[in-house]
Amino acid sequence: MAEDLSSVYQVRGRVKWFDPSKGYGFVVSDAGGTDILLHVNVLRNFGQSSVADGALIEISTHRTERGVQAVEVISIVPPERSENAVLSDFAELDQDAIRLAPMEPARVKWFDKGKGFGFANVFGRSEDVFLHIEVLRQSGLSDLQPGEALAMRVIDGKRGRMAAEVLAWEAAIKD
């Protein structure tokens, strides 16, 4: 009897790794089993171009002759961080004031994952907003592409305007 390759299963797990430049990564199911391929197009359908390693993810999958693949992302929860894991730029700032800052629509100007930072512009404003890779990771992202739409919580930091939280645009408009 042939195995049914058309069935779709919902899976919860963690992102093992994801490389936006390669266009794919893998998810490890909470239930165990083989790694699940996560292609960038499936992630883009969810509204993101990257996802942080260790993020909790809920996906729909199906088995192919080449293995198990994600066909839809249902939800992503950023990796857990300890409350002590605050960037030095935010350490002296009122954490409640940061959380209350409004989410603002923005576009990525450029981002260099190797350098660990980049810049974006809030719609209607010309000044650059600094994006730190750790802020991305805490927001469940691992990389950004030029022109990518975001929602950012922007604060005045020691070194100027900077993002304290970043969401993919599609995730922000769902909330």
User: How confident is the model at residue 2, as a pLDDT?
Assistant: 45
User: How confident is the model at residue 47, as a pLDDT?
Assistant: 83
User: How confident is the model at residue 116, as a pLDDT?
Assistant: 87
Instruction: Write the CB contacts of 140 (distance below 8 Å, at least 6 apart in sequence).
Output: 48, 51, 52, 55, 76, 77, 78, 79
User: How confident is the model at residue 92, as a pLDDT?
Assistant: 64
pLDDT in tens, 103-154: 899 999 999 988 989 999 999 888 899 998 888 888 888 888 899 889 998 8
pLDDT in tens, 31-50: 998 999 999 999 989 888 88
User: How confident is the model at residue 11, as a pLDDT?
Assistant: 94
The SS3 assignment for 113 reads coil
pLDDT in tens, 47-105: 888 898 888 999 999 998 889 999 999 998 888 764 544 466 665 666 777 778 888 99
User: Max CA-CA distance within the chain?
Assistant: 66
Structural domains of the chain, with CATH: 8-77 (2.40.50.140), 88-174 (2.40.50.140)
